[in-house]
Amino acid sequence: MQIFEVVELLDFPYMETREVVQGQIVGDILNDASIDKVYLLVDHDTKRIWAYNGLKSSFKIQIYGGILAGKLRQQMRLFYRVYPLNLYSKEDPEFQKLLERQIGGGRAKPIEKKDFPEPTPDKYAENISVSNPNINKAFEYINQFPHPDELIKRFTIIGGTIFTDEEVTESFLKEEKTVLKPVKLGRLNNGFTFFQDHNYSTRVIIKERNIQGIELYINKDDKSPTFKIEIPVIQEDKFRKPGSMKDLIKAFQIPKKIIEEKDKEKEEENEKDIQNDSTD
């Protein structure tokens, strides 16, 4: 297993990799001391290139890591595939198994300045699509990724639709269970929207160069007031969904209970009027 650290440069190509030679196993490198770094792990046994983004690594370094992972794959003549290691939580058996792998030599070489052609317009960013994905499939993919530690997800944005997590009680035979489910708030209005009610951490989920969703997280220790939506939201209509004619007719009927209560109120008012007339 070879490990390469993604390094930012001050001039073009603004990035390179540096092979990590210290440490005996992967766990000596991927630990609490590396949460602000990005690493590329080349597994020659499975022919995989694992991309690891530290929880506090900068967005720019993460982008560089994706580009350099592609460069490493080209260097290995495309026989290797790139996989996101952040797909697994720290407790996942796959992640723990990888941490125990020995660090050693291999035929992968660091990506350096000479491996980049002359500066050209950014061909990497222009291929990122912001098309509207299928919401159910997008959530299915997004939910594969574990939530960051010490953070709480507040919003998920897919296409132009915004969702928030809400506790829902589900019944399983005689047992009740409370689960978190995404609840649609509506569609974001045209223009732009600021999210200023909390100090948000943003996570962008991408699959095959298409943005699947954007998640906004807050810290668990955030003591800000409970969220109150103040952004323009267009509620989705439900006119195209089939409904029950029986429920529609029932909705227009006045319940008997309300009539009885109103009759009692009238009787009490009449009695008061009679008492007032007798006293006069």
Where in the chain are the domains?
Answer: 2-127, 135-234, 245-279
Higher-scoring residue by pLDDT: 209, 23? 23
> Which of 13-17, 195-199, 206-210 is predicted least confidently?
195-199
The one-letter amino acid code at 74 reads Q
Residues 6+ apart with CB under 8 A from 117: none
Q: Provide mean pLDDT across the span 2-23.
A: 93
pLDDT of residue 220: 85
Judged against a pLDDT cut of 90, whether residue 20 lies above it is answered with yes
Q: How confident is the model at residue 98 (pLDDT cuts 50, 70, 90)?
A: very high
According to the model, what pLDDT value does residue 51 have?
A: 94
Of 14-28, 77-91, 193-207, 252-266, give the lowest mean pLDDT range: 252-266
Q: Is the pLDDT of residue 279 over 70?
A: no
pLDDT greater at residue 19 or residue 191: 19
Q: Which residue has the higher pLDDT, 242 or 103?
A: 103
Residue 258 has pLDDT above 60, yes or no: no
Which structure tokens are listed for 139?
Answer: 């959530």
What is the pLDDT at residue 125?
Answer: 47
User: Which is more confidently placed, 135 or 243?
Assistant: 135
Tokens of residue 149, six digits:
């530690």
Compare 252 and 14 and report the one with higher pLDDT.
Answer: 14
62: left (phi over 0), alpha (psi -120 to 50) or beta: alpha
Residue 126: per-residue pLDDT = 47
* pLDDT higher than threshold 60 for residue 229: no
pLDDT-based confidence at residue 267 (cuts at 50, 70, 90): low
pLDDT at 81: 93
Residue range 34-61: mean pLDDT, rounded: 92
Which of 1-5, 106-110, 121-125, 202-206 has the least mean pLDDT?
A: 121-125
pLDDT greater than 90 at residue 108: yes
- Mean pLDDT throughout 12-32? 92
Residue 255 above 70 pLDDT? no
Looking at the chain, how many residues does it have?
Answer: 280
The model's pTM is 0.62
Distances in Å between the alpha carbon of 217 and those of 147, 152, 168, 260? 9, 5, 20, 51
pLDDT at residue 131 in the model: 66
- Of 229, 92, 207, 225, nearest to 163 by C-alpha is 229
Chosen CATH of 2-127 out of 3.30.420.40, 3.30.1050.10, 3.40.20.10, 3.40.30.10: 3.40.20.10
Residue 43: φ, ψ to 5°: -100, 105
Kindly give the pairing relationship between strand 48-53 and strand 81-84. parallel
CB atoms within 10 A of CB 116: 16
**What pLDDT sits at residue 260?**
57
The pLDDT of residue 127:
54
